[in-house]
Homo-oligomer: A and B are copies of this chain.
Amino acid sequence: MGITERRLRQKEEIRSNILATAWKLVLEEGWQSLSIRKIADAIEYSVPVIYDHFENKEAILLEFGKQGFELLAKKLQQASRKSKDPAEQLKAIADAYWNFAFQHKEYYQLMFGLGIACCEADKCIAEKSAFRDIVMSPIIAITKSENDPRNVNVCLKYHTFWSVMHGLISIKLMNTSVEPDLNKMVLDDAIEGFIKNLRQ
């Protein structure tokens, strides 16, 4: 009797319909303007139906957050495989990170908090530590320090790398227009400096 299965399938379909519709709305009007009511309207169901599939609005955002972290990890993974030279790896990773941020602006905004309270603290630990490892590996190789990821210095360098990336991107994303648009030069410059610094 595939009845319960069909029901599960139908229920699952509504769920992914919610997600797909929400995503479309976000692309069209941004995170700030996404609302449960608009989603309900678009999928042609009443509002409470949404709550049969997600505990609350934040749960929907969290879903996208995880998607984003997975996609980012994949992109960084691919980038790091482009070369055997750790410095080249790191450059490729930086590149991929940069591209991700602007090609998937909505994901990036959600993941790194330009306007939404989601994906903080413990919510996405698994997803975050995945891409942490990817970035860590070439840094360790370049510094040639002991191969221990818990090495304080390596941790520090990783943190610095990530911060630099995030700073460059988020300042570009908020587009303050005080200084001219320096596009990717800034990134290349900063990463170049970072790698030099890694080698002492």
- Where the two chains meet, the residues of A that have a C-beta atom closer than 8 Å to any C-beta of B are 32, 112-117, 120-122, 125, 128-129, 132, 152, 155-160, 162-168, 170-171, 174-180, 182, 185-186, 189-190, 192-194, 196-197
A155 touches B174 (CB 8 A): no
A144 to chain B, nearest CB (A): 17
Residue of A152, A163, A164, A194 contacting most chain B CB atoms (<10 Å)? A163
B174 touches A160 (CB 8 A): no
- Rounded to whole angstroms, the CA-CA distance of A82 and B122 in the bound complex is 41
Given contacts A171-B166, A190-B164, contact A115 B112 (CB under 8 A): no
- Rounded to whole angstroms, the CA-CA distance of A190 and B164 in the bound complex is 9
A190 touches B171 (CB 8 A): no
Who on chain B is nearest to A150 by CB? B180
Contact of A175 among B120, B156, B163 (CB under 8 A): B120
- Rounded to whole angstroms, the CA-CA distance of A180 and B166 in the bound complex is 18
Query: Could you say which residues of chain B place their CB within 8 Å of the CB of A168?
Result: 160, 163, 167
B175 touches A121 (CB 8 A): yes
Query: Could you say which residues of chain B place their CB within 8 Å of the CB of A113?
Result: 114-115, 170, 174
A117 touches B156 (CB 8 A): no
B189 touches A160 (CB 8 A): yes
A105 to chain B, nearest CB (A): 14
Query: Could you say which residues of chain B place their CB within 8 Å of the CB of A157?
Result: 189
B186 touches A125 (CB 8 A): no
Query: Could you say which residues of chain B place their CB within 8 Å of the CB of A132?
Result: 178-179
Query: Could you say which residues of chain B place their CB within 8 Å of the CB of A165?
Result: 167
A171 to chain B, nearest CB (A): 5
A107 to chain B, nearest CB (A): 16
Who on chain B is nearest to A177 by CB? B121
A193 touches B189 (CB 8 A): no
27 contacts between A and B (CB under 8 A): A32-B117, A113-B115, A114-B114, A115-B117, A120-B174, A120-B176, A121-B175, A128-B178, A155-B179, A156-B185, A156-B186, A156-B189, A159-B171, A159-B179, A160-B186, A160-B189, A163-B167, A163-B171, A164-B164, A164-B167, A165-B167, A166-B167, A166-B171, A167-B168, A192-B197, A193-B196, A193-B197
